[in-house]
């Protein structure tokens, strides 16, 4: 298991409108520990109390 994995932490703001998409706000970063747990550092606290954590995607390299 790699221990250098980085996660992005989001909160999703639901609009409840058909023509408007939900907003994803990046509010922090997570780091995978050797034991498989994740440390999360938040820059903001989600009002709805929910976090969505995703493995950070590598940016495509331009040639």
Any domain includes 63: no
Q: Domain count of the chain? A: 1
- pLDDT tens series, the chain, 63 aa: 455 789 999 999 988 888 888 899 999 999 999 999 999 999 999 999 999 999 998 776 555
Opening angle at CA 30, ends 36 and 2, nearest 5: 40
pTM of the model: 0.77
Tell me if 42 sits within 8 A of 27, measured CB to CB. Answer: yes
- State the pLDDT at residue 1: 47
Any domain includes 41: yes
Any domain includes 61: no
- State the pLDDT at residue 4: 78
Any domain includes 46: yes
Query: What does the block give as tokens for 6?
Result: 């980085």
Query: What does the block give as tokens for 24?
Result: 């994803």
Query: What does the block give as tokens for 12?
Result: 């999703």
* Beta-bridge partner residues of 7: 30, 55
Any domain includes 62: no
What residues make up the domain containing 44?
Answer: 6-55
Any domain includes 36: yes
């Amino acid at each position: 298991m790699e221990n250098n994995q980085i996660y992005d932490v989001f909160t999703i703001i639901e609009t409840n409108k058909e023509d408007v998409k939900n907003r994803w706000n990046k509010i922090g970063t997570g780091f995978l520990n050797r034991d498989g747990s994740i440390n999360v550092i938040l820059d903001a606290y989600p009002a709805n109390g929910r976090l969505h954590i995703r493995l950070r995607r590598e940016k495509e390299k331009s040639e």
